[in-house]
Amino acid sequence: MEFLEFKKVYKVYPTGVRALDNVNLSIEKGEFVFLWGATGAGKTTLMKLITREELPTSGEVWLEGCEISALEDRYLPILRRNLGVVFQDLKLVPHWTVYENLISPLQVLGVRKKYAHHLVEEILDLVHLQDKKHHIAEWLSGGEKQKLCLGRALIHRPHLVLADEPTGNLDGATALELVGALFEFSKKLGATVIIATHSEELISQFPARLVVLNKGKIIQS
Amino acid sequence: MSKDRAFHRRGIKSSYLVMGFLSIFFTQLLLNLFIFGYLELQQMGGVWQSSFAIQAFFREGVAPEVVEKVQEEVKALPLAGEVRLVSSEEAKNKFLGYFSLQEEDLGLEENPFPPSLEVRARRVEELPLLAQELEEIEAFEEVFYGGENTEALLRFYRFFLTAGGFLLLALFVFSLLVVTAVIRASIQARGIEIEVWSLIGATKKFIRAPFIYQGMMEGLSGGVAAFLVSLVFFHFLLDFLNTSFPLFFWISWEELVLPLGVVSVLMGSFLGFLGALLACNSVEEESAK
Ligand SMILES: Nc1ncnc2c1ncn2[C@@H]1O[C@H](COP(=O)(O)OP(=O)(O)O)[C@@H](O)[C@H]1O
Ligand SMILES: [Mg+2]
């Protein structure tokens, strides 16, 4: 059984755009994957099928033996709690502090306050936001917001991390540092990580599997 | 800096909190005014209805045994409530007293006032029916009750009670709409929070809980505030009314406390709860599209 599997997946948006075109893809547990493609290639759409923000037009998406493309809505919370997602548009709550944004996945999981607090401190160190702990998210720089978003994706130590253009607002050095942190996380916890990016520079820096998406088709995996 | 932050954060929530509170506060005030009017109407109706009685006059020269027998007969009627015999003597004295006359002023040898029965209906609505039944009794010369006037009055009163009931209901629906709209706005203002919670795997219940709580608290505080303000208001109003129109049957302030308190607190929190629930539903439906 594969960890994550796309079977003959098509996604056509109501506007008629064919975002994914017969995608077949298998990813094993613990793999570190770059999903590479130009803007509009369908990377975000592919991620959204895993988080169930979208449903495939046809085909199946399987995660750990569960067909998530057929999952009933009431089970979505269970699916999403087990994912760590860096959304392309971040999805931070702007009027919450860094601390509040970071701790939110732990609140959903019902983690005890003391332990949650401890985990937040750990993550603050990992993403270098220790001195911004009580700042309002809205006031952070673009790069800091992205670090915060990564922190929130990792804080509950998910088995599968999806990072959609997590370095879009970062300079080269910070981008490397951040993806480095993700790489460390993956190796340490055996987590599966998928990073969507259009940066060629980034993918050459890590010993990772490369999946190339072009106009909704997988042309290399 | 931390001060600015606190201000910024409170600013988002408090404006909506105040709106929710005020919407419940004002509708509850209105509701309390209505409850007062309704209770007052009922009270007046009670007093006024008990003054309705049928006067059934016996024929001239009726024998005392017949009077007694008929009185028992009337008492046995299912529609009849209290039955009282008014003797000719009493009728005469009443007449004399009424016009401040002396016995000699009448200059009569015989008492011209026939004895009568004063009959009240068990239920005031049945007054005309009861009068009809009395008319069929041979021993009575004449049966008198307000007739059409009484019936018209009764109809009027019943109409008022029904209309008041409907208005109360309409007011309730209206408050619910207002509260829902306000809480809905406050939920929509926190749309990003809801979206984020949902994306990181929070259940519907988890997401809704704070809004339901907020709605109930707004409702409860609005209700309690309306209750206190109403109490003060009615205290002065009744003081004023009692001194200005002392003969009128005003409800007492103490009688108002319990109904107003129960309705304000229960209705306030219930409205807040229901409003929040409806608002959550409609926002969820919208975001599902
Ligand atoms: N909600 C949507 N409705 C209609 N078209 C969409 C929607 N989301 C994405 N698309 C289209 O689907 C294609 C793939 O988009 P996306 O998955 O965001 O690509 P990428 O993330 O690789 O840039 C694009 O042409 C985009 O315009
Ligand atoms: Mg994208």
Looking at residue A218, its pLDDT comes to 96
CB A26 within 8 A of CB A4: yes
pLDDT winner (highest mean) among B4-13, B161-170, B200-209: B200-209
pLDDT tens-place string over residues A111-142: 999 999 999 999 999 999 999 999 999 999 99
Which one of 3.40.50.300, 1.10.1040.10, 3.30.70.3040, 3.40.50.150 gives the CATH number of domain B53-145?
3.30.70.3040
Distance from C-alpha of B256 to C-alpha of A145, rounded to nearest angstrom: 58
Indicate if ligand 1 lies below 6 Å from the C-beta of A95.
Answer: no
Which residue in chain B is spatially nearest to A135 when comparing CA positions?
Answer: B5
> What is the average pLDDT across B67-71?
90
In a domain, A85, yes or no: no
Query: Predicted ipTM?
Result: 0.94
Q: In a 3-state reduction of DSSP, which class is residue A147?
A: helix
Distance from CA of A56 to the nearest CA of B (A): 16
Looking at residue A82, its pLDDT comes to 95
In a domain, A115, yes or no: yes
Please name which of A159, A200, A215, A171 lies closest in space to residue A41, comparing C-alpha atoms: A215
Q: In a 3-state reduction of DSSP, which class is residue A20?
A: strand
pLDDT band for B7, please (50, 70, 90 cuts).
very low
DSSP string, A34-94: EEE--TTSSHHHHHHHHHTSS--SEEEEEETTEEGGG--GGGHHHHHHTEEEE-TT----T
For chain B, the structural domain boundaries read: 2-47+152-288, 53-145
Q: Whose alpha carbon is nearest atom 18 of ligand 1?
A: A44
Helix H or strand E encompassing A213: strand A209-214
Q: In a 3-state reduction of DSSP, which class is residue A23?
A: strand
Centre of ligand 2 to C-alpha A40, Å, is 7
> What is the average pLDDT across A178-186?
92
In a domain, A141, yes or no: yes
Distance from C-alpha of A179 to C-alpha of B16, rounded to nearest angstrom: 41
In a domain, A96, yes or no: yes
Task: Using a CB–CB cutoff of 8 Å, tell me whether A136 touches chain B.
Answer: yes
* Residue A153 domain boundaries: 90-157
pLDDT tens-place string over residues B47-63: 666 667 888 899 888 88
Residues of chain A in contact with residue B200, where contact means CB-CB under 8 angstroms, are 80-81, 85, 104-105, 108, 152
In a domain, A129, yes or no: yes
Which residue in chain B is spatially nearest to A90 when comparing CA positions?
Answer: B196
Beta-strand pair B54-58/B116-121:
antiparallel
- Percent of residues, chain A, with pLDDT higher than 90: 90
- Percent of residues, chain B, with pLDDT higher than 70: 88
Number of domains in chain A: 1
Q: Mutation test of the interface with chain B: which of A47, A89, A95, A99, choosing the one with the most B Cβ atoms within 10 A?
A: A95
Q: Amino acid letter at B268? A: G
The secondary structure of chain A in percent helix, strand, coil, rounded to multiples of 5, reads 40, 25, 35
Beta-strand pair A32-36/A209-214:
parallel
**Residue found under tokens 């209700």:** B223
**CB–CB of A81 and B203 under 8 A?**
no
In a domain, A186, yes or no: no
As a whole number, the mean pLDDT across chain B is 81
In a domain, A216, yes or no: no
pTM, two decimal places: 0.73
Looking at residue A51, its pLDDT comes to 97
**Among A84-93, B80-89, B147-156, B242-251, where is mean pLDDT lowest?**
B147-156
Residues contacting residue B89 through CB under 8 Å, at least 6 positions apart:
B111
**Residue found under tokens 């594969």:** A2
Task: Using a CB–CB cutoff of 8 Å, tell me whether B201 touches chain A.
Answer: yes
